């Protein structure tokens, strides 16, 4: 009898960018692969790739109780219909809702992927503390199934769950990120000319976008010759999204070139000299290992996830979080020292080859499926 796996991911685009290779290998191994996401433009591509797709009324950050209960019930009905051998849950709401559903429905095994703790854990204030306690309780409820594995992307997040008694150590695994295709993101020498400094991310305040723009402003005032470009778009479903007003202001200021959402990140990195991610916290940032695979020096923050993705002072530089001045200093150092950044870039490529190949990540996931009873 053919065994079945159901991926539940909030955004269809995120499934394609972060879990596609795992799903494809599962399909090649003879599994019946289903994917459930919210509706969106990338659903057609998921279907075109041969996966059975199911629409869920997922909202990224909505808190309407009626809609959230509807989502929970819809997922519960879908799981009862499919009776998957493995339920693979990715991002916070699928992990929470899917984990609860899996305790009330015929699911043999669960993989819960913690892709990062997000703005809930970076926000300050009394309201955020209350929200974190609620989320802790929901995680505790969602991760209690016996035949379950929780995949963390960095040790800080994993230890946070251990410390708060949310998950047993026997159920935890660490896989550093979603992997990178070393053939797609291949090493290439830097191009000549004025150094290009790129940041690629969703345009959220907790990705460090304001700090990046301010660092560009500081370096312009210092007379440092560099071209800054911001790759990504605003995220209206996220409470920390940059506003259209911010973008319009930056366009008029002409300090940073705003490229918007782009699918040719590989080419943009090849044409860059330095890649920057001044995030407040990450699970494990894919953009940093793509930059490393491309042979580009990186500057990122000394926070969970980001610091795990580089070899400090070997493949890149770490700076304090929320510190535009320190960020500007680090970028300037790499701008004015081409031999250093090229040395970092070569070391980054070696790091990607050693630890972050997509082939390694796919194999680790299939090994976890086997632990849960999948025959491959």
Please check whether residue 113 lies inside any domain of the structure.
yes
For the stretch 178-228, pLDDT in tens is: 999 999 999 999 999 999 999 999 999 999 999 999 999 999 999 999 999
Question: Does residue 172 sit in the same domain as residue 312?
Answer: no
Say whether both 164 and 217 belong to one domain. Answer: no
Q: How confident is the model at residue 125 (pLDDT cuts 50, 70, 90)?
A: low
pLDDT for 166: 94
Confidence of residue 120 (pLDDT cuts 50, 70, 90): low
222 and 362 in a single domain? The answer is no
Both structure tokens of 134: 């609620």
Q: Are 278 and 212 in contact (CB under 8 A)?
A: yes
pLDDT interval class at 252 (50, 70, 90): very high
Tell me whether residue 57 is in a domain.
yes
Per-residue pLDDT at 239: 82
Residues 200, 73 share a domain: no
Q: How far apart are CA 270 and CA 92, in angstroms?
A: 33
Asked if residue 351 is part of any domain, the answer here is: yes
pLDDT for 59 equals 79
If asked whether residues 262 and 282 sit together in one domain, one would say yes
Distance CA 306, CA 320 (A): 11
Tell me: do 363 and 340 sit in the same domain: no
Does residue 36 contact residue 55 with C-beta atoms inside 8 Å?
Answer: yes
Predicted confidence at residue 122, as pLDDT, reads 60
Its pTM surpasses 0.85:
yes
pLDDT at 12: 96
User: Is residue 65's pLDDT more than 90?
Assistant: no
- pLDDT score of 68: 87
Q: Are 166 and 18 within one domain?
A: yes
Same domain, yes or no: 128 and 156 = yes
Digit-coded pLDDT (tens) for 165-176: 999 999 999 999
Same domain, 42 and 147: yes
What is the separation, in whole angstroms, between the first and last Cα of the chain?
Answer: 13
DSSP result, 178-201: S-B-TTTS---PPPSSS-EEEEES
Please, which pLDDT band fits residue 289 given cuts at 50, 70 and 90? Answer: very high
Which two structure tokens, joined as six digits, stand for 146? 């016996």
The mean pLDDT value of the chain amounts to 94
Verify that 138 and 210 share a domain, yes or no.
no
Residues 348 and 233 in one domain: yes
Mean predicted confidence (pLDDT) in 99-106: 94
User: Closest Cα partner for 282 from 148, 152, 183?
Assistant: 152
In this predicted structure, the answer to whether residue 127 has a pLDDT above a threshold of 90 is no
The percentage of residues in the chain with a pLDDT greater than 70, rounded to a whole number, is 96
- Residue 31's domain spans which residues? 4-179+357-371
| Residue 184 falls inside a structural domain | no
* 10 within a domain of the structure (yes/no): yes
* Same domain assignment for residues 206 and 175: no
| Per-residue pLDDT at 161 exceeds 80 | yes
pLDDT at 376: 84
Number of domains the chain contains: 2
pLDDT of the residue at 64: 78
**Whether pLDDT at 136 is above 80:** yes
Whether residue 162 is predicted with pLDDT greater than 70 in this model: the reply is: yes
Share of the chain above pLDDT 90, in %: 86
- Report if residue 190 sits inside a domain: no
Give me the residue label for tokens 């309780």.
137
The answer to whether the CB of 120 falls within 8 A of the CB of 48 is no
Question: Strand locations in the chain, DSSP E?
Answer: 4-9, 32-37, 52-55, 86-90, 109-114, 148-152, 172-174, 196-200, 227-231, 256-260, 274-277, 297-301, 316-319
Is the separation of the CB atoms in 106 and 371 below 8 Å?
A: no
User: What's the pLDDT score for residue 128?
Assistant: 67
Burial class of residue 300 (count of CB atoms within 10 Å of its CB; 0-12, 13-18, 19+): buried
pLDDT at 118: 64
Q: Is residue 185 part of a domain?
A: no
CATH number for 38: 3.40.50.2000
Q: What is the pLDDT of residue 132?
A: 79
Residue 223 lies in a domain: yes
């Amino acid at each position: 009898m053919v065994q079945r796996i159901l991926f539940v991911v909030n955004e269809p685009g995120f499934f394609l960018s972060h879990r596609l290779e795992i799903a494809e290998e599962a399909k090649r191994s003879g599994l019946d692969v289903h994917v459930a996401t919210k509706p969106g433009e990338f659903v057609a591509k998921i279907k075109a790739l041969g996966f059975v797709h199911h629409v869920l009324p997922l909202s990224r950050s909505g808190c309407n109780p009626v809609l959230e209960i509807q989502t929970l019930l819809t997922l519960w009905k879908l799981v009862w219909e499919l009776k998957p051998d493995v339920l693979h849950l990715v991002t916070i709401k699928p992990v929470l809702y899917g984990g609860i559903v899996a305790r009330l429905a015929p699911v043999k095994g669960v993989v819960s992927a913690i892709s990062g703790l997000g703005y809930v854990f970076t926000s300050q204030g009394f309201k955020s503390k209350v929200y974190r306690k609620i989320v802790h309780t929901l995680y505790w409820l969602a991760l209690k199934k016996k035949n379950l594995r929780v995949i963390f992307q960095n040790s800080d997040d994993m230890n946070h769950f251990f410390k708060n008694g949310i998950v047993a150590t026997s159920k935890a695994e660490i896989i550093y990120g979603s992997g990178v295709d070393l053939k797609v993101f291949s090493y290439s020498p830097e191009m000549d000319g004025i150094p290009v400094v790129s940041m690629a991310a969703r345009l959220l305040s907790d990705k460090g976008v304001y700090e990046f723009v301010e660092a560009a402003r500081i370096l312009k005032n210092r007379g440092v010759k560099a071209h800054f470009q911001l790759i990504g778009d605003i995220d209206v479903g996220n409470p920390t999204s940059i506003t259209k007003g911010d973008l319009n202001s930056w366009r008029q200021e002409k300090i940073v070139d705003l490229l918007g959402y782009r699918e040719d990140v590989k080419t943009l990195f090849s044409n860059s000299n330095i890649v920057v991610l001044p995030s407040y916290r990450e699970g494990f940032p894919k953009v940093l290992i793509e930059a490393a695979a491309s042979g580009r020096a990186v500057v990122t923050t000394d926070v969970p996830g980001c610091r795990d993705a580089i070899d400090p002072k070997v493949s890149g530089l770490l700076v304090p979080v929320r510190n535009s001045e320190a960020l500007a200093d680090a970028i300037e150092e790499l701008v004015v020292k081409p031999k250093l950044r090229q040395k970092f870039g070569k070391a980054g490529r070696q790091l990607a080859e050693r630890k972050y190949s997509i082939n390694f990540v796919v194999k680790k996931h299939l090994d976890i499926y086997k632990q849960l009873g999948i025959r491959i």
